[in-house]
Amino acid sequence: TRRGRRQHVSFVEYVKDGRKHMRVKFYIQGSEPGRQGTVHLEVKENPESGEYEFRYIFVELEPFPRTIIIEDNRS
């Protein structure tokens, strides 16, 4: 249902090169009708501090194909 779509957060945790990573996907909806999107993000653990740092976070807007990149540290 539409309500379930808004509340669903999916994530995957994995270890790569000895560091913990997590990918997360969730849905957002704006105050105007038809303004919605999907947020994608990935974080990796900083081995010195134990905190997670963003690798990337971006939003795919629907229904038109447009992506807003908020942060991208994948270099």
pLDDT for residue 33? 83
Model confidence, pTM: 0.78
Helical segments of the chain, H only: 2-7
Nearest-5° Cα angle at 18, 38 to 8? 20
Domain ranges of the chain: 9-72
Side-chain-side CA neighbours of 31 within 13 Å: the count stands at 0
Q: Which residues contact 43 (CB under 8 A, 6 or more apart)?
A: 21, 22, 24, 52, 53, 54, 55
pLDDT of amino acid 63: 79
CB contact at 8 A, 40 and 63: no
Taking residues 24-49, report their average pLDDT.
Answer: 91
